[in-house]
Chain A
Amino acid sequence: MTPKYLGADGIDGMDIHGLIYQYTAVKDLADDFTVTVQNEKEGGGYVFQDKEDWSQKYGMTIRKSIGLPYTPLAHFKTDGGAIATTGTGSVENAQVVYLYRFDRCFDPQSDPNCPDYVAPLPPIPEIKLYDALDDEFVEEATKKTDQDLIDEEEEKEQKEEEEEEKERLEVALSISENVLTLDNEITQTSIIDAMNAATNLTAYYVAQIPSIVYRDTLVIKDEGYKDSRLLRNLAQDQQHNKMVEAQYQ
């Protein structure tokens, strides 16, 4: 029977330097009975073994302390603690208490006074680069305030947009027109071909139209120009100038 009891447990940096165990051996005087308190070693063997031979002895409670050289906790196998018994009898109310010290320099960085302590680099602050273009206050301060300029720009942008729209529309229409034209040509060609197949147009091609000259027969004779309205107008203009000049005299 090898019941498991508390083994060494803790954290890195602990050195076990002893233990106190206690149990009650329950047995008859005449029986042979041995009890061994032990802890396995990582990698094989035992860190310690303490055997009590209760054979031919009265069973009773034992409390014992065992000193150990400072042994790192890592040497103790996990769940390797046990109270092993042989013979006739039993162990009751067992307790195993490990005594330890903590090596504060196990991790040298845990204490600046440790020999291998290396001063850590100071934390690098996160530097936020200032971009004036992203600054809302700068944007606000540089905002255009001349309404005429704003309107002009808006108009210009609007015109550009309209032109682009127009170009896009033209391109779209030309594409569709080409497609329709192509389609029409194909259709008309096929119709003409069909008509040609049914009609003989040779007679039209061979018809001759006679050449006739139509001469001009109307002749107008030069009989002179008798109208004197032009001279009257000039006289009126002269009279008018005289009246205007008279106002400034």
Chain B
Amino acid sequence: MKKLIATLSLILACSPILAENIDITGDVQSRCTINTDTAGYYGNPSAHTLSTTPADGGSKPIVRIDVSLANAYYAQISYPTSFSTSPSLSDTVAWTGSVAVAQTSSSDMSGYQAASTVLNSGSLRQYALTIAGTTWFEVASTATYGQGQSKPFPSGSYKAYVLAECIAQ
């Protein structure tokens, strides 16, 4: 018996490892891509107003979203509610804006705007991307300084962001 045990132990000592972790890798490419089509610009029609409206000397930013899979994503786009870069502001800024479908790659997408929903007190609009293709969203933004007191913005550089996201349905 001892011998037998001794032989068994020898066999165990010479056998290879019985467990191994083998890697499985993979990449997933997004079926939804977001690109900046046109950068925005704030015009300064009055001392206390910054606006992207072309009539005010501004330019509306345009976001392009491409989806290759229908009924898989929501597009969530929000107009800015704060400056990411600005001089020191002692007063509050009132923000208004809008998000709208500017162009589509198919007439079947013409109902996107009507079917969209508003979230976050109106600053964020969500679109159900039901058709594979490209959609261009146009964002308007207006910032008014001084809570209606017509207070002038301090001189300097101002920057604000439009946030665009693809959210899986």
Residues on B with beta carbons closer than 8 Å to the beta carbon of A13:
none
Instruction: Judge whether B102 and A57 touch: CB under 8 Å.
Output: no
A84 CB, min distance to chain B CBs, angstroms: 15
A interface: dominant SS: strand
Chain A interface residue count, CB cutoff 8 Å, equals: 14
Verify if A80 is at the interface (C-beta below 8 Å from B).
no
Of A57, A60, A63, the most chain B CB neighbours within 10 A belong to A60
Cβ-based interface call for A101 (8 A): no
Scoring B105, B107, B111, B136 by chain A CB atoms within 10 A of each residue's CB, the highest score goes to: B107
- B105 CB contact (under 8 Å) in A53, A54, A57, A63: A63
Partner of A62, one of B107, B111, B113: B107
Asked whether any CB of chain B lies closer than 8 Å to the CB of A102, the reply is no
Q: Say whether A159 faces chain B, with CB atoms less than 8 Å apart.
A: no
Are the CB atoms of A54 and B106 closer together than 8 Å?
no
Which of B119-138 touch A at CB < 8 Å?
134, 136
Shortest beta-carbon distance from B9 to chain A in Å: 70
Q: Does A83 contact B (CB under 8 A)?
A: no
What is the distance, in angstroms, from B155's C-beta to the closest C-beta of chain A? 37
Contact B103 A57 (CB under 8 A): no
Cross-chain contact A60 with B101 (CB below 8 angstroms): yes
Q: Are A58 and B111 in contact (CB under 8 A)?
A: yes
In the bound complex, do residue A57 and residue B136 qualify as a contact, i.e. CB atoms below 8 Å apart?
no
Task: Report A-chain residues with C-beta under 8 Å of the C-beta of B108.
Answer: 57
Q: In the assembly, what is the distance between CA of A63 and CA of B136, in Å? A: 9
Is B116 an interface residue when CB atoms closer than 8 A count as contact?
no
The verdict on A61 contacting chain B, using a C-beta distance below 8 Å, is yes
A64–B105 Cα distance when bound, in Å, is 5
User: Which 10 residue pairs are nearest across A and B when measured between Cβ atoms?
Assistant: A58-B110, A52-B107, A57-B110, A61-B103, A63-B103, A54-B107, A64-B105, A60-B110, A57-B107, A62-B104
